């Protein structure tokens, strides 16, 4: 396939996502691996959604946010993996300008909302442990719904503006993206116009939806650890910490992989290092999250057992 370079945007309307073109002999194997990963992400996070909605024991704010987070994980990974699977299966690396813009929009929306939901989950644990007497008053059902809606409403308009801003630029340096999805910094590198304000906007949004939620999480858990340390018994401290450990692990995986990816120097776009790092937060983190929450949470394990028992009993009645 001929790669177009030094052409005006008005003369072409597609990009070439290189993906894993540097591994031509492994395309079928990679397709199988990512298909299994995607199916397991759908099943694992879908199961979390079902049990948090159906089991009466899990009708609490913590599991309400967990169900929303699982839904976001499905949407987040669905913005990347289906297109990657299509590319690996058909060997077609092209993506239209419109499809690239749609993928760009949904990826950023889901990524930013996840950071806010993680911060909300940390705040929920802070109230539960540091202000237990006021927990039901503060984290009532109406407040939980408002926090989730606010997360969506605060992100979507900004990402719409970001998408319009990026895709209004002239792409004349090249139409080749050395990535697995339409990633912002990779797109900006292909433009020939003045990208100063785009880069300012990129870093501003990263601070707004990445750094500030991270600070809120750090503040919440600092207060939580101080409160846990003051508990009189070892059993009480262990029980309090166990309710936070899963969220801490998930938060560490998400932010850790994201920070590493965005700290890469610009040459990583040429060498392709960043696209491999991005697999952690686009594939592996959504894959591990259901396992982390189910293996470290007795309530979730019991809810799953009850669900499987009901399904088995229903199947036996047929």
The confidence score (pLDDT) of residue 72 equals 94
pLDDT above 90 (res 3)? no
Distance in angstroms (rounded) separating the CA atoms of residues 193 and 166 = 11
**Total domains, the chain:** 1
What range does the domain containing 134 cover?
13-313
The pTM assigned to this predicted structure is 0.86
Mean of pLDDT values over 222-229: 86
Output the CA torsion sign for 243, 244, 248, 254. positive
pLDDT above 50 (res 7)? no
For the chain, percent of residues with pLDDT exceeding 70:
86
Asked if residue 180 is part of any domain, the answer here is yes
The phi-psi region of residue 19 (left if phi > 0; otherwise alpha if psi is between -120 and 50; otherwise beta) is left
Asked if residue 5 is part of any domain, the answer here is no
**Are residues 55 and 19 in contact, defined by beta-carbon separation less than 8 angstroms?**
no
Angle at 47 between CA 41 and CA 49, to 5 degrees: 100
pLDDT above 50 (res 11)? no
Asked if residue 6 is part of any domain, the answer here is no
107 confidence band (pLDDT: 50, 70, 90):
very high
Asked if residue 4 is part of any domain, the answer here is no
In tens, the pLDDT along 138-166 reads 999 999 999 999 999 999 999 998 898 88
268 confidence band (pLDDT: 50, 70, 90):
very low
CATH number at residue 272: 1.20.1070.10
Strand order across the beta sheet in which 176-177 lies: 94-96, 14-17, 176-177
273 confidence band (pLDDT: 50, 70, 90):
confident
Average pLDDT, the chain: 83
Asked if residue 7 is part of any domain, the answer here is no
Asked if residue 8 is part of any domain, the answer here is no
The confidence score (pLDDT) of residue 123 equals 93
Asked if residue 280 is part of any domain, the answer here is yes
Asked if residue 306 is part of any domain, the answer here is yes
The confidence score (pLDDT) of residue 10 equals 41
């Amino acid at each position: 396939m001929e790669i177009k370079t030094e052409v005006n945007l008005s003369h072409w309307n597609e990009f070439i996502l290189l993906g894993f073109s540097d591994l031509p002999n492994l395309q079928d194997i990679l397709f199988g691996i990512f298909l299994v990963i995607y199916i397991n992400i759908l099943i694992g996070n879908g199961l979390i959604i079902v049990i948090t909605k159906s089991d009466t024991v899990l009708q609490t704010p913590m599991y309400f946010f967990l169900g929303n987070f699982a839904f976001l994980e499905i949407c987040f990974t669905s913005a990347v993996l289906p297109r990657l699977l299509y590319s690996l299966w058909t060997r077609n690396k092209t993506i239209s300008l419109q499809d690239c813009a749609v993928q760009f929009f949904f990826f950023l929306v889901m990524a930013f909302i996840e950071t806010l939901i993680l911060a909300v989950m940390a705040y929920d644990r802070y109230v539960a442990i540091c202000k237990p007497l006021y927990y039901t008053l503060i984290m009532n059902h109406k407040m939980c719904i408002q926090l989730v809606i606010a997360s969506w409403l605060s992100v979507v308009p900004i990402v719409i503006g970001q998408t319009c801003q990026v895709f209004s630029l002239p792409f004349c340096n090249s139409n080749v993206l050395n990535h697995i999805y339409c990633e912002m910094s990779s797109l900006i590198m292909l433009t020939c116009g003045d990208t100063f304000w785009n880069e300012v906007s990129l870093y501003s949004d990263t601070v707004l939806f990445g750094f500030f939620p991270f600070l809120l999480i750090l503040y919440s858990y600092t207060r939580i650890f101080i409160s846990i340390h003051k508990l009189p018994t070892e059993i009480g401290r262990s029980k309090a910490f166990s309710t936070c450990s899963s969220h801490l692990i998930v938060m560490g995986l998400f932010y850790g992989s994201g920070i590493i990816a965005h700290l890469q120097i610009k040459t990583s776009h040429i060498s392709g290092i960043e696209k491999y790092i991005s697999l952690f937060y686009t594939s592996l983190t959504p894959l591990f999250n259901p396992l982390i929450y189910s293996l470290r949470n007795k309530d979730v394990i019991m809810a799953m057992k009850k669900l499987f028992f009901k399904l088995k009993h229903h199947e036996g009645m047929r």
